[in-house]
A and B are shown apart, each in its own frame.
Chain A
Amino acid sequence: MTIETYGAYGGRYVPETLIPALDELERGWAEARADPSFGEELDLLGHHYVGRPTPLYESGRFAPQGRRIVLKREDLNHTGAHKINNALGQILLALRLGKRRIVAETGAGQHGVATATVCARFGLECVVYMGAEDMRRQHPNVERMRLLGAEVESVEFGTKTLKEATSEAIRDWIANVETTYYLIGSCVGPAPYPSIVRELQAVIGREARTQMLETYDRLPDAVVACVGGGSNAIGLFAGFLDDADVRLIGVEAAGAASLASGRPAVLHGARSSVLADADGQVLDAHSISAGLDYPGVGPEHAALRDTGRVSYVTATDEEALAAFHRLAETEGILPALEPAHALARALDIDAELILVGLSGRGDKDLAEVLGY
């Protein structure tokens, strides 16, 4: 079996115990994609359960004079973020593989909530690993997961954020690999996870491209999305990668800029651009946004940076907060702090028609915003 890589990035850097499970996953995914009933069920659930297609909304008051900023409203999905697109697709895959126990990691809690939601929907056991620091700052999502029947395991060591939660979820998977499906939340991890997550999130870009043509009769000049692990960005960009005239811009948190200031290293099963020291030891990321507070990034983003197809820039905590308040006050929309980074940069991009991925809603962030 050929392992999918993105340029020099990606691959499988995992203990031998997991290799047969990754092979099984790859076969199962290929079979699912070839089976029309898989896509039909996903589309049907996407429509009736998640609420797709999500609308495009032009933010007339948020945009600076002379610019048009259009939001792809993933915040209007069931559970409030794009994460459900991936969770739903992977849960259908887990069912095909006969797994009844699901483990996941979560940072901001949105992926954990999405996973707990689809596990409740299909009657599967759900264990979510979450850093103790993230449990504190995203407490409403912890309560939501528990109400949905998930077990939330607090990770009390290291950074106590997404990095350690991911490591613990993978360790759980290693120990329970025969019975358990690891439902990864972003386009990271060992192959084939980055490509599975990308394909499941690509619905965002497909819809957005069609909607742009329907509504504006043209493609946007620039597409902007926030990048932590990078799943909403890769899903949105996927719709426009072949449109050479469309600028693609990924926005990282300034304190977690794996692409802007990282180096090649191996984290969580893949080679990518990682915040690491000269010896390959992974460094701590720092962001007000728990969902971007991750020192790694999906390998495809590292490759897209190297080819120059996507530009990656950063936004600070303060810039994201300012954009959060501006969208709330001008449009009546509370964005999550993650896409608030994309909104911040969208304000100063020199382009006429700008599409921004509004990947999630901000209810979970109120305590963080009010306490800042």
Chain B
Amino acid sequence: MAGPETPELARAAESGGADLIEIGFPFSDPLADGPVIRRAAERALAAGMRTADCIENVRAIRREVSVPLIPMTYASLFEAYGWERLAADAREAGAASLIVADLPVDVHPELRRVQLVAPTSTDARIALAAERTDGWLYLVTVAGTTGARTELSPALAPLVERTRALTDAPLYAGFGISTPEQAADAAELADGVVVGSAALLAADDGPAALERFVAQLRAALA
């Protein structure tokens, strides 16, 4: 989540072995998020983080790390800031792409972004998302919101299989992956894993704790 401590946390994540870093731009009503990310957004908003601050935050993070940075947010921020303007300003500040959690592939198709597909997606929608996505496809492993699950979702394997049949794009799996074991299992299927809520919880204990956590994930994927 964007905030004053985020540049330092990003450096720790990169040192731990992260290949890519998502930066949350907080929204007041994040429908796709479970309690951990929702609370992080509430804290960021209470601390005054608004869209322009988040973009400056990306710029500050960009100076600290060399991996791609991808803001993840919600449509209402674009509606207020301007769709093209937010995309342009984020890119200018150093973002590699965008993720908009409540923007299905057929809404605002002109906005270049990483598309999400879910276990409920039809093949036609997966194909469309693959065609329009910016670099890689985000595979939502579960029907549900972000946050830890006890097991890797059994829905991931069939989703990967269906998606592979439709596209050569790299597939990164996220939602519900919190432990090195789950990450390793997911990486057997997908080309990468996205860990959000668990990384935020680790970051609550500071950069060193986050770096250790990311290093454990990295080691599990080796």
Contact = CB atoms under 8 A, between A and B. Distances in A.
A281 B102 contact: no
Contacts of B51: 279-280
Contacts of A167: 29, 31
B80 A11 contact: no
Contact of A16 (B29, B75, B76, B104): B104
A279 B42 contact: no
B50 A281 contact: yes
B172 interface: no
Nearest to A176: B143
Nearest to B78: A280
A88 B18 CA distance: 51
B38 interface: yes
B217 interface: no
A267 B27 CA distance: 10
Contacts of B129: 16
Interface string B36-67: 00110010010000111000000000000000
B184 to A, nearest CB: 25
Most buried by A among B31, B50, B79, B143: B31
Contacts of A178: 120, 143
Interface in B112-141: 116-122, 125, 129, 140
Contacts of B45: 281
B205 to A, nearest CB: 23
Interface stretch (A198-206, A220-228, A268-276): A268-276
Contacts of B20: none
A268 B31 contact: yes
Q: Is the interface of B mostly helix, strand, loop or mixed?
A: loop
Interface string A142-178: 0000000000000001100001000100110011111
Interface stretch (A17-25, A102-110, A349-357): A17-25
A257 to B, nearest CB: 18
A127 B103 CA distance: 27
Number of chain A interface residues as a range: 35 or more
B213 interface: no
B143 A266 contact: no
B148 interface: no
A177 B29 contact: no
A171 B118 contact: no
Contacts of A21: 120
A276 B77 CA distance: 10
A274 B34 CA distance: 23
B31 A16 contact: no
Nearest to B103: A13
A235 to B, nearest CB: 26
A132 B202 CA distance: 30
B86 to A, nearest CB: 10
Interface in B139-153: 140, 142-145
B102 A279 contact: no
A281 B79 contact: no
A14 B76 contact: no
B50 A279 contact: yes
B122 A12 contact: no
Nearest to B41: A281
A16 B121 CA distance: 7
Interface of A: 3, 11-21, 157-158, 163, 167, 170-171, 174-178, 263-269, 271, 274, 276-282
Given A15-B140, A280-B51, 15 more contacts: A13-B75, A14-B104, A17-B119, A17-B140, A19-B120, A21-B120, A158-B28, A174-B32, A177-B143, A265-B79, A266-B79, A266-B102, A269-B31, A281-B76, A282-B28
30 contacts: A13-B102, A13-B104, A14-B104, A15-B104, A15-B116, A15-B118, A16-B105, A16-B118, A16-B125, A17-B120, A17-B121, A17-B144, A20-B120, A20-B121, A20-B125, A21-B120, A157-B38, A167-B31, A176-B143, A265-B79, A266-B75, A267-B29, A268-B31, A269-B102, A277-B50, A279-B80, A280-B51, A280-B76, A280-B79, A282-B28
